[in-house]
Amino acid sequence: MKIRHLIILLLLSSANLSAQNSVFSAGVRLGGQTWLPTLNNEVDGSIKGSIGAHEMVDFRYAYYSKINKHTSVGIMFGAGIGYGSCGVRGNNTDKFSNTDYSSNKIDYAATTDFKQSEQFANADFSLLLALRHNGFVAQIGPRLILPFSVKRTLRINDASIDAYYKQYDVHVVNEIITGKLETPYDITDKTQKWNVITLAIEMGWEWKLGYRSPNSVGIQAYANIGSRNEKTPAYSRLINVSPISNPSDPIPDVTVGWADSLISKRAYLDFGLRMYYAFSPNTSSSLKFFKRDRYRHRR
């Protein structure tokens, strides 16, 4: 089901609900998150997601309508704020040709093992269809994820620069005169903000804090699944070596780029456990509970 169809279903459902029960909840979400990347067809290498931390403070407000004694359905509005990190890792071989100051052709093969990660503050907003049944609780619906203050880091764990002089059948590997990168090598900068609309799925159990109490605690497993289909940047080399053009200074420049152009598309995934406290201040059961509690104290 497409996200827009799910939103329409939620809005139609909310229009038909009589708000018999209002529920507030506050909790935390703890887990991991990652990218699921697809390698660019122009790239020689491999790439996969790297799991980072996912930590959110979570606030919800729900309207429930009772279907029968044991089952309620409703609409849940949510917001969260926290911290996240995710990334990609892999290996890559760039092949290109240069010349030296004597016009000798040099065929390069620059092979790297790398990890690129993003760290960011994170906010999200959700509109979920919610179900309660005999302690079982589940939600499903769209969630908008809005990272901000995004910082990215690239680490080259290992690099091999092989310069091959075909006319002499000679390989010069990791030498300063033909190009060498000391590893581990790190670069860091701030990068553009991004956002993703995900399908949120949550399910678990909750327990009342006392007989006929309006308050409860719960734990749920959750996952947010989405895609970030931004335009793939033009392919650029992860490691590049400049021509050796100056005989008085025959040391070529070695430059390092970012791994973004190695990826043609990426899917987003985060997952973990949500733990929360919920209360219903306006329900009839809530009023009866507090009245009975006051009566006991008077006695």
pLDDT at 285: 45
Do 183 and 161 form a contact (C-beta atoms < 8 A)?
no
Amino acid 157 reads N
pLDDT of 233 reads 73
Question: What residues of the chain score a pLDDT lower than 50?
Answer: 1, 11, 14-19, 284-291, 293-295, 297, 299
Q: Is the dihedral of CA 126, 128, 133, 136 positive or negative?
A: negative
User: What is the C-alpha separation between 278 and 286, in angstroms, rounded?
Assistant: 12
pLDDT given at position 5: 57
Q: How far is it, in rounded angstroms, from Cα 66 to Cα 268?
A: 35
* Residue 263 token pair: 């990826």
Number of H helices, E strands in the chain: 2, 13
Cα gap 130→263, rounded to integer Å: 36
Tokens of 203: 């399910």
The pTM for the full model equals: 0.80
